[in-house]
Copies of this chain bind each other. A is one copy, B any other.
Amino acid sequence: MVKRNSVRQLDSIFHALSDPTRRSILRDLATAEKTVGEIAKPHPVSLAAVSKHLKVLEAAELIARERRGNFQIVRLRPANLRPADEWLAYYDKFWSRQLDALQTYMEGDDDE
């Protein structure tokens, strides 16, 4: 169950990242775990809206939660951003070389 269908996984990850509030939440969680209330505070939307965003992030497995007493502690799962990064890494060659190198690349390897 660890290896989800990788296409749907990318769907859910990129979809999760397509919203600025959600990206902001991930940034906030990068340096510290937070409760739902703490996460919601800086965002100009209702707590329920933030709760929905967290569900989206959780579905993409980019965060995990743990109940600790009265609160729920939300934690980043940064390793699960990796599939997105790897998908993008395919295109590294197109911006790390100059355009004429790209041209060469395309002419020499035009299958698949």
Which residues of A approach B to under 8 Å, CB–CB? 7, 10-11, 14-15, 17-20, 23, 27, 30-32, 76, 78-79, 81-82, 84-85, 87-92, 94-95, 102, 106, 109-112
Using A11-B19, A81-B95 as known contacts, list a sample of 12 further A-B pairs with CB atoms less than 8 Å apart, ordered by residue number in A. Answer: A10-B17, A11-B18, A14-B14, A17-B87, A18-B18, A31-B111, A32-B110, A78-B94, A78-B95, A84-B88, A85-B89, A88-B88
Nearest-neighbor residue (CB-CB) of A13 within chain B: B18
Chain B residues near A88 (CB-CB < 8 A): 81, 84-85, 88
In the docked arrangement, what's the CA distance between A109 and B88, Å?
A: 28
When the two chains form their complex, are residues A18 and B20 in contact, meaning their CB atoms are under 8 A apart?
A: no
Question: How many copies of the shown chain assemble into the complex?
Answer: 2
What is the interface of chain A mostly: helix, strand, loop, or mixed?
helix
A105 to chain B, nearest CB (A): 8
When the two chains form their complex, are residues B106 and A79 in contact, meaning their CB atoms are under 8 A apart?
A: no
| A31 interface neighbour in B78, B79, B84, B110, Cβ under 8 Å | B110
Chain B residues near A27 (CB-CB < 8 A): 90
